[in-house]
Amino acid sequence: MSEYEDLKYEEKNGVAKILINRPDKMNAFRAETCEELLHALNRAGWNNDIGVVVLGGAGDRAFCTGGDQSAHGEGDESGYGGRGTIGLPIEDVQSIIRDIPKPVICRVQGYAIGGGNVLATLCDFTIASEKAVFGQVGPKVGSVDPGWGTAYLSRIVGEKKAREIWYLCRRYSAEEAERMGLVNVVVPHDKLDDEIDSWCAEIMQKSPTALAIAKRSFNADSESIRAIGSFGFEALKLYYDTDEAKEGVNAFLEKRPPDFRKHQK
């Protein structure tokens, strides 16, 4: 996999930059995207010449908007990006972001929605353009992230705010995301890459072993969420087989409001 279909990959000055390269799909991920992300993150994460990883999305519109709802038969039919009944390995992508011993910076230049919002939550740092927009979509399309996207989010923004984000599926500006602790810093759109390069250069001056130990230590405190997520995704598989969950996808594709409650048992 020296070349990727759904990603752009670059190594320079100790920095590995990984961009989801599906701008025509708002950088939504399909099965191939997830498999390539796993390869690229492992490739960068265990290379001693790399000191920091930047995860972003191509184009100006979106970092990532979660699972590609048009990729039926290729990925998760929920449109959110869990394993579902298809086997989209987003849970593994989430884990590898935490597991590699390098800081991962999320570059958010536009929308970070649904599964994309979870990736931004999981990265060690999130640096956003003033044009960035954050939010959840799961309950609007009959889905949810039952692990890192909920339990870990609450550690970052607090229980009340996390429940608001998930239950109401609102959109939040970059400034609002920064105030709630979801974003480290917000910069003018045309300064985003300069700011990220500055952070990368600063990280490269630090001891890689000390950083790896620090990351492991931070992760240890929340590692129980991995087991919660594994349990939750098993339940999610069963949920995705229900008419209630399918109503969310059907309504989205048919461009109509969903009527979940008619399927509630």
What pLDDT, in 10s, does the model give residues 133-145?
999 999 998 889 9
pLDDT at 73: 42
pLDDT at 78: 37
pLDDT at 65: 95
pLDDT at 71: 57
pLDDT at 59: 97
Sign of the C-alpha dihedral computed for residues 196, 199, 204 and 205 taken in this order: positive
* C-beta separation of 199 from 91 below 8 A: no
More reliable by pLDDT, 161 or 68: 161
pLDDT at 104: 98
Retrieve residue 226's tokens: 């991995």
* C-beta separation of 196 from 187 below 8 A: no
pLDDT at 2: 56
pLDDT at 239: 87
Q: Domains along the chain?
A: 7-189+210-263 (3.90.226.10)
Let me know if 227 is exposed, middle or buried by CB neighbors in 10 A (0-12, 13-18, 19+). exposed
Retrieve residue 201's tokens: 């250069």
Q: Which residues contact 17 (CB under 8 A, 6 or more apart)?
A: 8, 9, 10, 11, 53, 54, 56
| pTM beyond cutoff 0.75 | yes
pLDDT > 90 in the chain, percent:
73
* DSSP helix/strand/coil, 234: helix
* C-beta separation of 36 from 7 below 8 A: yes
- What is the chain's mean pLDDT, rounded? 91
